[in-house]
Structure 1
Amino acid sequence: MTDYLQVSTTADSREVAMRLVRSVVGARLAASGQVLGPVRSVFWHEGELGEGEEWQVLLKTTADRYPELETRLRGEHPWTNPEITFTRIDGGAVPYLEWLRATTE
């Protein structure tokens, strides 16, 4: 069985978030993506507590496509060390998961 993933990253604007989604979905590194926000974030940055507005990006992909997806996100993201994490999708509607796999092949 294919391992399915939901990948998350953030961006400082809706425009950057949409550019990232269009890039990876257009390259079939992800089957789909959503941009949520804005959200307020609190974080450590260069030794200081920071706060800001961000846009969250959620992408659906397979474990096989993840390494190339991460490389592309890191290469196109304006931040030096962007958040890029994933959560395994342990289940779901079989037709959707089949579509996800076929779309990213």
Structure 2
Amino acid sequence: MTDHLLVTTTTPDRETAARLAASAVGAKLAATAQVHGPVTSFFWHLGEQGEGEEWMATFKTTSARYADLEAHLVVEHAWTNPEVTAIKLNRGSETYLRWLETSTAPET
């Protein structure tokens, strides 16, 4: 059975988030992607607490495509250690989930 995932990353600006969204969908690593922001993030970085404005990109993909999507996001990201996280979608409409699978199927 295929797992369906919601993958997220944050970026320093809208342009980076949009570029990642477009390139991942273009490569069929994600069926769809959305850009949200700006958001205010609070974090630890280099041993200090920080705060900054970020943009979030979310991707819908399958477990079969996750490793390739993660690698793509890490390589194409502006940061050396970007957040890339995924959660399993426990439910979704049958037709939407089939579309997600079809849209991310590697071309043969």
Q: TM tier, shorter chain?
A: over 0.9
Task: Give the % identical residues.
Answer: 55
- Per the alignment, residue 24 of structure 2 pairs with 24
Give the count of matched residue pairs. Answer: 105
- Per the alignment, residue 72 of structure 2 pairs with 72
Structure 2 unaligned blocks of 5 or more: none
Instruction: Say whether residues 1:52 and 2:52 are aligned partners.
Output: yes
Q: What code does the residue aligned with 2:3 have? A: D
Q: What code does the residue aligned with 2:42 have? A: V
Q: Give, in angstroms, the shift of residue 37 of structure 1.
A: 0.5
**Which secondary structure does the structure 1 equivalent of 2:91 belong to?**
coil
Instruction: Say whether residues 1:97 and 2:101 are aligned partners.
Output: no
Give every structure 1 segment of 4 or more consecutive aligned residues whose post-TM-superposition deviation is greater than 4 Å.
none
| Partner Cα distance (1:90, 1:47) in 2 | 36
**Normalising by the residue count of structure 2, what TM-score does the alignment of the two structures yield?**
0.96
| Partner Cα distance (1:78, 1:92) in 2 | 32
Considering only aligned residues, what root-mean-square deviation do their CA atoms show, in Å? 0.5
Structure 1 unaligned blocks of 5 or more: none
**Which secondary structure does the structure 2 equivalent of 1:65 belong to?**
helix
Q: Deviations over 1:31-62 (max 9, x none)?
A: 00000100000000001111000001110000
**Normalising by the residue count of structure 1, what TM-score does the alignment of the two structures yield?**
0.98
